[in-house]
Structure formats: structure tokens, C-alpha cells
Amino acid sequence: MAGALNAQTATSKLNLRTGKDIYMAGCVACHGADGRGQSRELQGFERPSTFPDFTDCRTSTPEPDVQWQAIITNGGPARGFSQIMPSFGEMLSQDQIKMVVKYLRSLCKEKSWPQGDLNFPRAFITEKAFPEDEVVVSSAVNTEGRAGGDVTAFYEKRFGATSMIELQVPYGWNNLGSGTKAAFGDIALGYKRALWSSVNTGSIVSAGAEVIAPSGSKEAGTGGESTTFELFGAWGQRLPGDSFFQVHTGFELPVHPDIVPRAYYFHSAVGKTFSQGWMGLGRRWTPMNEFIVDRDLVSGAKTNFDVVPQIQIPISKRMHILANIGYDVPVNHTAGRPKQLLFYLLWDFADGSLKDGWK
């Protein structure tokens, strides 16, 4: 495949003026003229289990362009994919590679699928607008005051072009004076749908709802007081210089507001992604800061403000396994609101198993 393109570019480089021209010259032998993969009778190699189908919108849309550029430039092993994917960095300019990526994107004919450049990094508290296939284990531990904390498992499953369901299962512990007590918290089931997205403007808008069951323990301080319904909206915006801004705002509406007050929240996150390696095509890490506003909707209630500095780092070469570490700092009304050390481990299971993408 690389040899065919090398011969083509040596004799008629000027003819490769479009992404389709380049694809047909150097990619079609393996990936097929339609992007579904060359037929097994003609491919001349054993196809790996993760061989892409560029017409499958589910697998071809979630990742940002830079992920595709890195694989085309440096070969499959650059992101923990197959060794049979060669590097084209010495044969194609970055402008040509970007044209190929644009052509590959066009093979997904269902334009309702949000594009991966709007899939911004996940913060701790601010909900993303982009629908995801992820498993996340997140923890928060008090660093002052009474001992306590929690661990929450999130399962997010995308279905269709724009929808996602999410299951949250928390487990918490608290020292209430008479000893430490631990129990499951209030389990939540949510739904989110991307309402609008545009790569040209760098924007994505979603809305969703969540029901929180009182499965926790009052004695352990992990919930168990009232069923609560939550309505929310989310917005993500790409900014210059690989930066982004995200907003997540909504209302919490308990069935028993005399026990658990209704509440409003406004969560936001701003960050910038930095890339290692030549042309910024190496691993990507993202410092972020969240600004958290919460207020109970009762007379005389106080509005609480928090800041949450954090940094997301890649664990696997494929960057489908990520970690984030942060610190939640209450800005006002600090009595009874301890500072917390935060950590999560994220697995984007649509990009491969836990064993994939390490070498």
C-alpha cells in the first residue's frame, strides 16, 4: 500500500489534489474502494479484528481528527493498532493527510452523528454534551474535617446517532462520630440526547433527564431520603488553540421537597489540550478547571461556589483508558463542606478492550 503511493507520488504528485485521489492511490488496496475493507480474496493479508469500516458511523465518528492524523502519519502502532497499518508521514504532507481524513469522514452518510472534534475531555462534575460509550470509576475523599468519601461507577451506553443512557452506582462511607459507616448510595438512571451539533461552529448542545432512587442509607449518610428527578442541559464549545468550554446546568426535583430541598446548579469547565510528539501527534493531556455553583430553592438558602482544578492524562497508547486527578475546593460557606481529593479512571470501551492499545 505505501509502495503504491510512493510510486504514484514520484511520478504524478500533482494529480493527488483531493482526499479521494490520495485514498484511491494509497489506501484502497487494504481499505477497499468503498471504505468497508478490501475483499478477503484480494486483500493479501490477515485482517485484524479491529479493522475499520469507514462507512460505519458508530465507529468512524467519535474520535477527533488528530487521532486519525496520528495513525496515518505514524502508522497503526502509534495508537496501539495493527502493525500492518503503515506510516505515510514521509510521503504525504500534513495538509494532504487532513484531506484524507476529511474524505474518510464523508464516508459516514448519516450526518446526524456528532463528529469527534466535539468530543471534549470529561471533567469530574460537569456533564458532557457528547454521547459516549464509557465506563468510569470515580472517587472523592475528604482531606479535612470528618473522614468520608465515595466511589461511584458510571456505565454510559450510546444508542443511535445522538442518544445515550447512563447508570450511576455510588458507594460511600462517613465517620459520623460513633464510627465509620459505609453503604451504597442513591442509584441513578439517566438519558441524554444531542439536540444539535456543528463542526463549523465547534458547538454541541444536549438535554437530558435522570431519576435518582433512594437506595442509599440514612444511617450511613449516603442518601435514602427521597426519589429525585433531574432535568439538565449541556453545551460544549471548541475554542482557539485546542481549548474548550463546557456548561452543564439543571434542576433537582425531589418527590419529597419537605425532606430534600429542590435545587438548581450551574457547572462549567474550561480546559486546554496539549499534545506531545512531532506535529503534536503524540499523547494528549488536558488541564482543566471547573467552576461549580449550587443553590437550594428554599427561602434564605445560600449559594455555594466551588473550584475544581484537575488534569486528565492518558494511560494507554490508544488513549481509550484515561485518568484524571483533581481537588474540589469550596470557595464560600466552607463549614461542613470539606475539601476533597478527586480521581477517576475512564475506559472508552468502543475503542477497544482493556487489553488493547498498550503497544
Taking CA atoms, 104 is separated from 8, 86, 120, 281, in Å, by 20, 17, 21, 18
The architecture that CATH gives domain 2-106 is: Orthogonal Bundle (1.10)
The architecture that CATH gives domain 116-351 is: Beta Barrel (2.40)
Please report the pLDDT score of residue 177 as a whole number: 77
Please report the pLDDT score of residue 279 as a whole number: 79
Please report the pLDDT score of residue 51 as a whole number: 80
Portions of the chain given CATH number 2.40.160.40: 116-351
Portions of the chain given CATH number 1.10.760.10: 2-106
Please report the pLDDT score of residue 7 as a whole number: 45
Cα 250 to chain center, whole Å?
Answer: 20
Question: Considering the entire predicted model, what is its pTM?
Answer: 0.91
Report the half-sphere exposure of 185 (CA within 13 A, side-chain side).
18
Please report the pLDDT score of residue 3 as a whole number: 46
Report the half-sphere exposure of 159 (CA within 13 A, side-chain side).
4
Regions in the chain scoring below 50 on pLDDT? 1-4, 7-14
Q: In whole angstroms, give the CA distance from residue 261 to residue 73.
A: 54
Please report the pLDDT score of residue 251 as a whole number: 98
Please report the pLDDT score of residue 82 as a whole number: 84
